[in-house]
Structure 1
Amino acid sequence: MQTPSVALPRRHLAWPIAIALGLLLLRLFTNTRYGFHRDELALLDDARQLAWGYVAYPPLTPSLARISLELFGDSLTGFRLFAALAQSLSVVLAALIARELGGRRGAQIIAALVAALMPFSMIAGGVMQYVSIDYLWWVLLAWLLLRLVNSGDARWWLAIGAAIGVGMLTKYTMLFCVAGIVVGTLATPLRAHLTSRWLWAGVAVSLLLFLPNALWQWQHEFVSLDFLEAIHARDMRIGRTDDFLLGQLYANAGPLALPIWLMGLGWLAFSGAARRYRVLAWMYAVPLLLFAVAQGRAYYMAPAYPMLAAAGCVAAERWLRARQPLGTGIRRIGAGALATWIILMAVGSGVLGLQLSPVNSTGWRISRAVHDNFAEQIGWQELTTEVARIYRSLPAEERMHTAIFANNYGEAGAINLYGPRHGLPTAISPINSYWYRGYGSTPPRTVIVLGDTREGVADTPGECVPVGRVSNRFGVLNEETRDHPEIFICRNLRVRWADVWPQMHSFG
């Protein structure tokens, strides 16, 4: 079977590639404005202690972070390179998806621009998190499925299986994407491949890639399930799972991209011309339904929108071609409207996602009203400096038996990143994978406590008093300065660490 992309010149991809490279360069110059995000600080620690699994995520993202550390040290730009690269590759893949759907140069370029300017992608390219890398695998899978459909070559199942396996090593929500692919395969002519050895070889590839992490989970009593249960309960309690379906209209692709991806979804689901590509509609609809039932966060569906936007661009292009020739005046009005639309998307997403605005400026406040990613990058060095002041104020003998106890992974990561230059010991923490690393070679007698409140330390079997306060030079309110700004020191601990530590494991 001939693929529609065969007759389309490869030079049409020059513009999408240029857009992706331009976005990558923009990232390299703007990803250093603030500081490490709390999630990145934990990732840095995990990257220094590689394993086949971690409580909060599978091992691929820490492995990429380790490569960044080896190549660039603790450079913000270097650390975020893979996140930025993943988003730029997704831009090219969106154009390739449009190409596989039969889109010409205009559809490919617009698909690339829309994918580049989606708010979630814009934010994800500036923070090294597993969601940034997970985004790429969903978009890649959409393109691989189209290659399978258009070529009829069952060997593409090997690549699909590899992408699923790598996706499972990135984020476990890949299972929801897989559910969409399975239903889409059964509900479309792709079900003919069920008798192909290549499909089952692809399944085997995905399982083999995921096997090391599955074994790690088994050895650790599937602790990530406990983590996910705890986090989901917290999210529901504080309202992070509210308005999941409504959030699809604005939170991921942005409100300005709504018409184009809705057009793409409708075209894939109902148009006879797109019947052979209906697997992509299932790839969207099934995860959407499953996440809605499971009460997931709205952004879990973000990776599905580049393929829908690409389909929308192709559908719009086909609609316009069917009405050719258009008059010169109409073409000029259309070109002007298109340029205005792209500029508005660029301005909106740039303000929300790029680290351009000075702290507390108008642009900062606009982005702060939408997300807290920038605010959670502020103040970590000041926190470490304050802890160092408290630590140095202790008698030398007491310092030898003093631990820094962090109640969240951001604090622990900050102490471990910035603390060595102040002579601080490695932080201990009961949170996530930190708990497995224990409380040190000798039980501490004095503890400097971060991330707690007076009510929280009141039941500590010891004498706890406030000795400092977390602040930052910008006066930014974030989790540290708003929720638990006081730092405590606890002495005369009536506790046997070997007995209490096994009961202290917590998730966050």
Structure 2
Amino acid sequence: MTRPSVPAFAARPVLAVAMLVGVVLTALSGRYGYHRDELYFMVAGRHLNWGYVDQPPLTPFIARVSTTVFGDTVVGLRVLSTLSTIATIVVIALLAREFGSDRRGQLLAAICAALSGFVLGVGHMVSTATYDLLAWMLIGLFAVKLLRTLDGRWWLALGLTAGIAIENKYLVVLPIAALFVSLLIVGPRSVLRSWWLLVGVAVAGVVALPNVAWQFQHGWPQLTVASGISEDDGTENRIMFVPLQILQLSPFLVPLWVAGFLRLWRRLTWARSVALAYPVLCVVVLVAGGKSYYALPLLLVLVAAGCEPALGWISRHRVQAIVGLVLTAVTSAVFTLPVLPASAVDLVIPVNKEQGEQIGWPGFVETVATAWERIPAADRANATLFASNYGEAGAIERYGAAHGLPTVYATHMSYYDWRRPPDSNTGPVLLIEIVRAPQREQHFRDCTQVGTVKSPVSNDEDGTALMLCSGPTEPWSTLWPKIRQFY
């Protein structure tokens, strides 16, 4: 059977679109500030290891490389994230090419990716999802190449990409599993009989082995974290799954991914398994109570497939198409990029809370420093500054020295492993509580609220209580395991 060929790659216009996005992301990257996760990644990057309680090592490593090479600033931290987003847009255009799109279709795919709220949102910051998205797009590209050519050697590229991606986030196993199930259902099953599949699996295993070994040695803490997140947020995630699938990518792109699904199912039957992989993945995520963005990358694959049939409609309705693209650009920018004044961010937080998590950290640390000064100078040598989560601890590490704050401690995620107060710290404890927690306060004596964090926006830290306690009820070495936080 003759397999379909592909058109020439529209390199110049696609790269122009991707580079324009890079310029925009760079221009805006320092406008608000660090996200709480970024503060954590930077600290994790200073404690490099093959694994952490809540994640594999790649994103903290990238954070360290980026700040070392490009500067220890918000802008410097985000350079490699921007480059990853540029690459993601190019790969999405290459996917459109694999589906038979000519120059115009590839350019449309690049534009749609560039205007997608999800792509811009994860590209603006450093997150595991940033590099996970690029990995998913590459896996999609190699999978489509495998199906189009029936050349089993693409399993090697798939395996290598999957292995590297596992060193960033375990979610990458989901699209591969969904594709595998889809291949069993609708074929072509011949690609599963290639010995290159075994080679690809072996390569993925070898590359992922260091982190898997670390998790095994430490009792699989990441599974504990994942189960806790699912238990806490699973119901809400299921309720919001469909609305967020539409909103986070962009409502204006819905016709394209629907057209892409139908095109793969009805016309490009050699890629029918790619279309089926999306609903299969959605079912898995819904059952597990996972977050809606777990399935969004496969929607981008469907968008790439839908660009070619969309060209005919666009040529007949140019004004409507232009208006739609402009509205997509405006809504995506407002909800995912730091284009609004900080005072107006409360308007978008209900849709994208990550906007608010980038605002207010210097003021938070200043408020903590004011509370710390309530401790008599003579008692500060054996006093303890104790944060309730990694964002708070990371912010204090970043900004605390300028306010004379001491080393901060926390039991949240991998902070638990990095350091513990010495047992000689029997004096006052400044306890930072994002929500008052009597079950935690019971481990400290005579706790009194001495301050409240007033954030400029309605983010998680707004209203955080600062509790000054006279000391721990038992030595820190005994207390530490009792107050560990996995989520």
Shared fold, TM over 0.5 = yes
Aligned equivalents of 2:444, 2:141: Cα separation in 1: 58
Q: Is the 8 A contact 1:126 1:354 kept in 2?
A: yes
Q: 1:436 aligns with which of 417, 421, 424?
A: 417
Matches within 5 A, 1:411-422: 411-422=392-403
Matches within 5 A, 1:313-392: 313-317=307-311, 331=315, 333-361=316-344, 364-392=345-373
Aligned pair 1:494/2:473, yes or no? yes
- Classify 1:297/1:452 alpha carbon distance in 2 versus 1 (closer, same or farther; 3 Å): closer
Partner residue in 2 for 1:282: 276
Partner residue in 1 for 2:304: 310
Partner residue in 2 for 1:447: 429
Shift of 1:309: 0.4
Q: 1:56 aligns with which of 54, 60, 69?
A: 54
Q: CA RMSD in A?
A: 2.1
The AA in structure 2 aligned to 1:171 is K
Partner residue in 2 for 1:196: 194
TM-score by length of 1: 0.90
Shift of 1:217: 0.6
Partner residue in 1 for 2:114: 116
The AA in structure 1 aligned to 2:478 is D
Shift of 1:219: 0.9
Moved more, 438-447 or 137-146: 438-447
Q: Is the 8 A contact 1:20 1:92 kept in 2?
A: yes
Q: Is the 8 A contact 1:39 1:129 kept in 2?
A: yes
The AA in structure 1 aligned to 2:410 is S
Shift of 1:4: 4.4
Q: Is the 8 A contact 1:4 1:101 kept in 2?
A: no
Partner residue in 1 for 2:404: 423
- Classify 1:107/1:492 alpha carbon distance in 2 versus 1 (closer, same or farther; 3 Å): closer
Q: Is the 8 A contact 1:452 1:486 kept in 2?
A: yes
Q: Is the 8 A contact 1:84 1:125 kept in 2?
A: yes
Runs of 4+ in structure 1 over 6 Å off: none
Shift of 1:351: 1.1
Q: Is the 8 A contact 2:85 2:134 kept in 1?
A: yes
Partner residue in 1 for 2:241: 244
SS in 2 for 1:355: coil
Partner residue in 2 for 1:464: 447
Aligned equivalents of 2:199, 2:211: Cα separation in 1: 20
The AA in structure 1 aligned to 2:331 is G
Q: Is the 8 A contact 2:166 2:208 kept in 1?
A: yes
SS in 2 for 1:157: helix
Aligned equivalents of 2:374, 2:242: Cα separation in 1: 53
Shift of 1:306: 1.4
Shift of 1:453: 5.0
The runs of 5 or more residues in structure 2 that have no matched partner are none
Shift of 1:46: 0.7
Shift of 1:141: 1.0
Shift of 1:316: 3.2
- Classify 1:245/1:374 alpha carbon distance in 2 versus 1 (closer, same or farther; 3 Å): closer
The AA in structure 2 aligned to 1:352 is F
Partner residue in 2 for 1:65: 63
Aligned equivalents of 1:291, 1:452: Cα separation in 2: 29
Aligned pair 1:479/2:435, yes or no? no
Q: Deviations over 1:184-210 (max 9, x none)?
A: 333455422333222111110111111
Q: Is the 8 A contact 1:55 1:433 kept in 2?
A: yes
Q: Is the 8 A contact 2:371 2:466 kept in 1?
A: no
Shift of 1:442: 4.2
Q: How many residues align?
A: 485
Aligned pair 1:258/2:240, yes or no? no
Q: Is the 8 A contact 1:144 1:156 kept in 2?
A: yes
Aligned equivalents of 2:359, 2:300: Cα separation in 1: 31
**Identical-pair percentage:** 33
Partner residue in 2 for 1:327: none
Shift of 1:213: 0.7
SS in 2 for 1:419: helix
Q: Is the 8 A contact 1:13 1:108 kept in 2?
A: no
Partner residue in 2 for 1:398: 379
Q: Is the 8 A contact 2:430 2:467 kept in 1?
A: yes
Shift of 1:375: 1.2
SS in 2 for 1:160: helix
Aligned equivalents of 1:428, 1:347: Cα separation in 2: 41
The AA in structure 2 aligned to 1:129 is S
The runs of 5 or more residues in structure 1 that have no matched partner are 321-329
